């Protein structure tokens, strides 16, 4: 009997000690932003501010957009949040965002995303980094995949077939695939590496293109777009050429507006490489701190986009565009690590939209939900099945 009491007592004592340690640990961790005098979102044990993400209620992009909007409501230029116990710095003010992504790029050259080349092979190609000590295992923490599995399989087979075929036939057409094949050549990689120390680019990324995008416009927008496409093509003797596509201004606005609401990659993460004093403030972002520029948050900010959930291509007319800061629209990121496939991605998307709008009328199915739900296991926006 005494033994049972003793055992129970020991188990209770150990459990209490573990609980006290966990509470102490979190208390210390959650003091991080307070100590540095930065406004922050109140975290809770154990997920920090990431409860909705951990419960699979929303995606990583959506949760950071929410953080951005909550901090913006507090009227601050920047703020902090916690992913579990890890502090994350979130810039709100466009001037700070510009500094981090563009002029002070030296402090923030990498993304710090976890790469799992075995289970999620395309992740390595998208966001490869050099310095391993900067890796914050954010994707691993939340078990997120960078790319949907079906898309991954398709693109791996497609790229392999193209490369094998061209290598076998010694074919050179001077297009993007040629450049990518060239980059698989070790010597070219080394040259590139030498030119950009923090920069390892690897081929293939087409899966972010049109296939990921839905068309969210019905009615007037669609008619206007179809008319523009028809008229422009008629002027060009029905040729869908680079020039004819570039002439389609409304198409440009429609694609921009779609990427505003649904930026395929909804976050622009960075890792701080050396202590950085945020200009105009006393706050220091320490080396190793995770910085999250949230393009989705910026894109849904009512200060830049009144009635932000409404699909309205007119927001991208030259007058409207010039009325907001450039970094308020960054679906392709910004600065030295801006998306290298931007022009290709836009062109491919536009070609897809042209083919669809010329041949079909898009209407909403009764089953279509107004609020699109995205796959919570994936970083890149993928529609929930």
Binding mask 348-377 for ligand HEM (x = CB under 6 A): -x----------------------------
What CA–CA distance (Å, rounded) separates 142 from 153? 22
Nearer Cβ to ligand HEM, position 38 or 254?
254
Nearer Cβ to ligand HEM, position 38 or 177?
177
Helix pair 186-195, 176-184: axis angle to 10 deg: 90
Residue 383 CA: distances (Å) to CA of 126, 133, 373: 20, 33, 6
Examine residue 209 and tell whether it contacts ligand HEM (CB under 6 A): yes
Neighbours of 218 (CB within 10 A): 13
What CA–CA distance (Å, rounded) separates 128 from 214? 28
Examine residue 378 and tell whether it contacts ligand HEM (CB under 6 A): no
Nearest of 170, 165, 154 to residue 209 by alpha carbon: 154
CB-CB contact of 301 with 292 (8 Å): no
- Considering only the stretches 135-143, 198-206, 308-316, 321-329, report the one whose residues sit in contact with ligand HEM under the rule CB under 6 A: 198-206
Among 95, 256, 344, 351, the residue binding ligand HEM under the rule CB under 6 A is: 344
Examine residue 146 and tell whether it contacts ligand HEM (CB under 6 A): no
Residue 194 CA: distances (Å) to CA of 102, 117, 329: 21, 24, 32
Examine residue 300 and tell whether it contacts ligand HEM (CB under 6 A): no
Examine residue 139 and tell whether it contacts ligand HEM (CB under 6 A): no
CB-CB contact of 186 with 328 (8 Å): no
| Footprint on residues 89-128 left by ligand HEM (CB under 6 A) | 111, 126
Query: Is 339 one of the annotated binding-site residues?
Result: yes
CB-CB contact of 232 with 239 (8 Å): no
Examine residue 331 and tell whether it contacts ligand HEM (CB under 6 A): yes
Examine residue 66 and tell whether it contacts ligand HEM (CB under 6 A): no
Nearer Cβ to ligand HEM, position 276 or 332?
332
Please state the closest distance from residue 21 (CB atom) to ligand HEM, in A: 37
Among 215, 265, 298, 354, the residue binding ligand HEM under the rule CB under 6 A is: 265
Binding residues for heme: 339
């Amino acid at each position: 009997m005494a033994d049972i009491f003793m055992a129970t007592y020991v188990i209770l004592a150990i459990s209490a000690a573990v609980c006290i340690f966990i509470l102490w640990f979190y208390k210390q961790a959650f003091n991080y932003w307070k100590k540095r005098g930065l406004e922050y979102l109140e975290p809770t044990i154990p997920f920090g501010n990431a409860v909705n993400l951990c419960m699979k209620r929303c995606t990583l992009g959506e949760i950071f957009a929410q953080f951005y909007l909550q901090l913006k409501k507090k009227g601050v230029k920047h703020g902090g949040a916690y992913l579990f116990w890890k502090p994350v710095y979130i810039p709100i003010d466009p001037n700070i965002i510009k500094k981090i992504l563009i002029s002070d790029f030296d402090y923030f050259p990498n993304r710090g995303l976890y790469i799992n080349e075995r289970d999620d092979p395309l992740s390595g190609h998208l966001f490869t980094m050099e310095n391993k000590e900067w890796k914050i295992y954010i994707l691993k923490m939340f078990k997120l995949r960078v790319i949907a599995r079906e898309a991954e399989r398709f693109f791996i087979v497609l790229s392999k077939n193209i490369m094998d075929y061209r290598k076998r036939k010694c074919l050179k057409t001077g297009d993007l695939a040629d450049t990518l094949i060239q980059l698989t050549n070790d010597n070219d990689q080394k040259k590139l590496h030498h030119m950009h120390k923090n920069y390892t680019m690897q081929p293939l990324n087409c899966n972010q293109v049109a296939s990921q995008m839905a068309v969210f416009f019905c009615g007037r927008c669609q008619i206007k777009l179809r008319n523009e496409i028809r008229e422009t093509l008629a002027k060009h003797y029905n040729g869908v050429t680079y020039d004819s596509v570039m002439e389609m201004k409304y198409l440009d606005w429609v694609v921009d507006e779609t990427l505003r609401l649904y930026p395929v990659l909804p976050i622009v993460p960075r890792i701080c490489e050396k202590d950085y004093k945020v200009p105009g403030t006393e706050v220091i972002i320490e080396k190793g701190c995770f910085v999250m520029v949230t393009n989705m948050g910026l894109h849904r900010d009512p200060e830049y986009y009144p009635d932000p959930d409404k699909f309205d291509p007119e927001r991208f007319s030259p007058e409207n565009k010039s009325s907001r800061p450039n970094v308020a629209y960054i679906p392709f990121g910004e600065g030295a690590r801006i998306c290298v496939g931007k022009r290709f991605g836009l062109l491919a998307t536009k070609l897809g939209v042209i083919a669809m709008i010329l041949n079909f009328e898009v209407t909403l199915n009764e089953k279509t939900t107004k609020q699109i739900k995205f796959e919570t296991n994936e970083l890149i926006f993928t529609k929930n099945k």
